[in-house]
Amino acid sequence: MTPVDMILLAHGAGGKLTRRLIEEDILTRFENPVLRRLDDGATLTFGNLKLAYSTDSFVVDPIFFRGGDIGKLAINGTVNDIAMCGAVPMYLTTSLIIEEGFKLEDLRRILNSMRDAADEANVEVVAGDTKVVSAGSADKIFVNTSGIGIVEREVSGSNAKVGDKVIISGFIGDHGIAILSEREELDLKVPVTSDCSPLNGLVSSILDATDGIHVLRDPTRGGLATALNEIALQSNVGIRIYEEMIPIRDAVRGACEMLGLDPLYVANEGKMVTFVSPDDAPQVLEVMREHRSGSDARLIGEVIAEPRGTVLMRTRIGGERIVDMLTGEQLPRIC
Amino acid sequence: MKFLDEFQDPRLVKGLLQEIGSLAKRRVTFMEVCGTHTMALNKFGIRAMLPNRVDIISGPGCPVCVTPMNVIDAAIEAADIENVILATFGDMMRVPGSSSSLEAEKALRSDIRVVYSAMDSLGIAEGNPDREVVLLGVGFETTAPSIACTVLGAARKGIDNFKLITANKLIPPAMKALLDAGEVKLDGFICPGHVSTIIGSEPYEFIPREYGIPCVISGFEPVDMLQSILILLRQIDEGRSGVEIQYSRSVKPDGNQIAKRFTSEVFKIVDSDWRGLGKIKASGLALSERFQEYDALKHLGIGLRESAEPPGCLCGEILRGVRSPPECGLYGLRCTPERPVGPCMVSSEGTCAAYYRYSGGARE
Amino acid sequence: MAEVEIGGAMHKANIQLVPDAKIGEYVLLHAGFAIQRLDEKEALETLKLLEELYEIPR
């Protein structure tokens, strides 16, 4: 087989190769306008009722890390995907694929985390499935969750308007670096905890406060840069962000310096970026900062007309560069 | 962060740019020969901030890009051997060989592991006594001492299941080859920062002396690079040429003696093949007689085959600074970061990759 | 081996190439090895010179 004939780790990175796979192999086979939007979840209409529906699988390694575990990640991941559709998450299902030999004590620990996360997010796990495969056929445990919620306000990655302000809810790069610091072979000790947490409370509070929310997106694998690029493409607009305004912890900056990583591409699991009409931006910032999930919210940029489909960054020295979408695999099995 | 932030001070950047504007009286072309400089120029958007008459081109500063295809093929061959664990620096994973890549071979179950430090491969050897661990040693003079330390560590601890594919190269001979080829008219060199912390400034002295071309050894932050450009412009303005160290906080005239000693203990200098530049005299390293037993290719009976460049690939000209990425017919169309044809696009320090990433694949 | 730190992130680095490095000193890191000690005096002098040249208050 040549490299073009097989799936590589890079296809799971959430960047360009993932996108190519989706466009060439998935969208071509499952033709419908909802899927084509490529939002975090599907917004479906049943008469007067609008529902959001989403699914996600979790293969994070290691399964236990500072700030959470694969179970907490799985619940919050889907809760957040539903919230990013402007919906109130209500019910989740979960599927477990477990490797033979996995410790029962570890499974219980993960299930407890899932229960606690579901309670915190105010959702219920209403159906599920468990499969066990022979040793070597899966790495410890893989978890899938899917979820459904009622749409409060329709938002979509394709709704960004020129002039919109871009707001990030807090520090970026925490989750990815927290995971990396648990990887033995890298020998990295960073006092950073994964930011894995539910965002539905924060989303509700800003949707209640104003009508001007156009886009909600949680920048998971591929980081902030990838999320912004996706939105720029979906909405066919340009986005300009300001390097000085982006909140990054010193420890995350330091770890990235040491490993040669760019924090803009490092995964987050408890942050969201929102595109707001310029008149409503100050109020949205205020409401976010009053919420515990948004206390470090920052205005980081705006939507521009040209160049379309592109993300630009004003660097801290006054230059400008294009922030491209991630290509390959920076950090495998980060979520 | 200390000693990084200050060298990114926008006020200093502004002052330096103003002075560059007034000192640059005619068109000048400077070449940098360091992958990290290639990235820094693009990351901070420095080229766009300089006046049009100051042109910075990228030379063969990316060690991954100048590694010949047959070395990658040999590494793949080694990795395919049942008992072998191939250890490599991350950047080599996606580089295309004649028919495959280390990344693809790993997907097909060859035991290929990315190491962040050369020493890590020794740890893998110690932990797997019944396997053969082969380190693909790619890099310039910056990496050579750490690979030398690794070989010395293997010798000291009696680790005989560790082997090395030596693909290290030396920068100054490549600079000489570029000047002798006379393809590009250069008004100055921005010399590599990290390589120079090891080798010092002396190895570049032949450039002003024999070719009359100014050289400056530069750091990687915006203030460093702009100050370096200013230093070159001043030399030109004053009609002199010499080797100046801008990166004085890390580079001493005689470099790092200890590092140099480790390198010369383990390696000897040999003629070497550079992708895109051909064979350059005394430009590469090979294991010295005392350490021959660590030579992976000899031990595994793998020979280096003839390899041809993919048709249409302009990496060679790009590495020599003769062409820029958008001039390559494959750039942005058949050759992209997701599906690279040549090494300049794959390596994170490659000219084409840096160009693509920071100017969005534009072909203008 | 020594522990190196930046911004609170800690890492182990090989110091065979800079055996005289002291605790509290800054070093240049490359692929898991410290390759040179940072000359703080030089760094500060370079900055001071530039700041004076471009009249930047400190």
Q: Are residues B68 and B151 in the same domain?
A: yes
**CA–CA gap between residue A244 and residue B49 (Å, rounded):** 18
Q: Are residues B275 and B325 in the same domain?
A: no
Q: How many CA atoms lie within 13 A of A257 on its CB side?
A: 25
Q: What is the pLDDT of residue B298?
A: 94
Q: What is the domain-level CATH number for residue B195?
A: 3.40.50.11750
Domain A165-322 in the same topology as domain A40-151:
no
Q: What is the pLDDT of residue A330?
A: 61
Whether A258 and chain B come into contact, CB under 8 Å, resolves to: no
User: Average pLDDT of B169-191?
Assistant: 94
ipTM: 0.91
- Under a CB-based contact definition with an 8 Å cutoff, are residues B67 and B284 in contact? no
Question: How many structural domains are present in chain C?
Answer: 1
The pLDDT confidence band at residue B364, using thresholds 50, 70 and 90, is: very low
Q: Which residues of A touch C11 (CB under 8 A)?
A: 187-189, 258
User: Average pLDDT of B289-316?
Assistant: 89
Could you tell me the fold of the domain covering A165-322? Answer: Phosphoribosyl-aminoimidazole Synthetase; Chain A, domain 2 (3.90.650)
- Integer CA distances (angstroms), A123 to A149, A153, B243, in order: 9, 19, 67
- Residue-wise pLDDT for A182-218, tens only, equals 987 777 889 999 999 999 999 999 999 999 999 999 9
Q: Following CA atoms B180, B185, B190, B195 in sequence, which dihedral angle do they give, to the nearest 10 degrees?
A: -20
Whether C23 and chain B come into contact, CB under 8 Å, resolves to: no
Question: How many structural domains are present in chain B?
Answer: 3
- Integer CA distances (angstroms), A264 to A171, B149, B188, in order: 11, 35, 34
- Residue-wise pLDDT for B46-55, tens only, equals 988 999 999 9
Q: Which residues contact A211 (CB under 8 A, 6 or more apart)?
A: A153, A280
Q: Which residues contact B118 (CB under 8 A, 6 or more apart)?
A: B135, B137, B143, B146, B147, B149, B150, C31, C32, C33
Whether pLDDT at A316 is above 70: yes
Q: B16 lies in a domain?
A: yes
Q: Which residues of C touch B256 (CB under 8 A)?
A: 17-18, 35-36
Q: Tell if the CB–CB gap between B107 and A324 is shorter than 8 Å.
A: no
DSSP, collapsed to helix, strand or coil, labels residue B292 as helix
User: Average pLDDT of A144-153?
Assistant: 96
Q: What is the pLDDT of residue B343?
A: 82
Q: What is the domain-level CATH number for residue B86?
A: 3.40.50.11740
Q: C26 lies in a domain?
A: yes
Q: What is the pLDDT of residue B53?
A: 94
Q: Are residues B140 and B69 in the same domain?
A: yes
The parent domain of residue B225 ranges over 5-63+185-245
User: Average pLDDT of A94-100?
Assistant: 97
Q: Are residues B79 and B164 in the same domain?
A: yes
Q: Which residues of B touch C53 (CB under 8 A)?
A: 15
Q: Are residues B90 and B162 in the same domain?
A: yes
Whether pLDDT at A333 is above 70: no
Q: B364 lies in a domain?
A: no
State the pTM of this model.
0.88
Q: What is the pLDDT of residue C54?
A: 84
- Digitized pLDDT (tens) for each residue of chain C, 58 residues in all: 898 988 888 888 999 999 999 999 999 988 889 999 999 999 999 989 888 888 877 6
Q: Are residues B145 and B266 in the same domain?
A: yes
Q: Are residues B83 and B215 in the same domain?
A: no
Q: Are residues B158 and B39 in the same domain?
A: no
**CA–CA gap between residue A192 and residue A194 (Å, rounded):** 7
The amino acid that residue B315 corresponds to is: C
Q: B308 lies in a domain?
A: no
The parent domain of residue C38 ranges over 2-53
Q: C15 lies in a domain?
A: yes
Q: What is the pLDDT of residue B362?
A: 55
- Residue-wise pLDDT for B105-147, tens only, equals 998 888 999 998 899 999 999 999 999 999 999 999 999 999 9
Whether pLDDT at A331 is above 60: no
Sketch the domain layout of chain A as residue ranges.
1-31, 40-151, 165-322
Q: Following CA atoms B67, C28, A324, A332 in sequence, which dihedral angle do they give, to the nearest 10 degrees?
A: 80
For the purposes of burial, counting CB atoms within 10 Å of the CB of A103, is it exposed (0-12), middle (13-18) or buried (19 or more)?
Answer: exposed
| More confident site: A258 or A278 | A278
- Residue-wise pLDDT for A213-231, tens only, equals 999 999 998 899 999 999 9
Instruction: Choose, out of A181, A258, A261, A266, the residue to mutate when testing the contact with C (most C CBs < 10 Å).
Output: A258
Average pLDDT, chain B: 91
Average pLDDT, chain A: 93
For the purposes of burial, counting CB atoms within 10 Å of the CB of B15, is it exposed (0-12), middle (13-18) or buried (19 or more)?
Answer: buried
Percent of chain A with pLDDT over 70: 96
Q: How far is A2 from chain B (nearest CA, A)?
A: 6
Q: What is the pLDDT of residue A14?
A: 78
Q: C58 lies in a domain?
A: no
Q: Which residues of B touch C6 (CB under 8 A)?
A: 1
Q: CATH classification of A40-151 is 1.10.3720.10, yes or no?
A: no
Q: What is the domain-level CATH number for residue C22?
A: 2.30.30.140
Q: Are residues B139 and B205 in the same domain?
A: no
**CA–CA gap between residue C16 and residue B156 (Å, rounded):** 14
Q: What is the pLDDT of residue B360?
A: 62
Longest Cα–Cα distance of chain A, Å, equals 57
Q: How many CA atoms lie within 13 A of B249 on its CB side?
A: 21
Of B13, B94, B358, the CB nearest to A318: B13
Q: B69 lies in a domain?
A: yes
- Residue A101 has which token pair? 């030999």
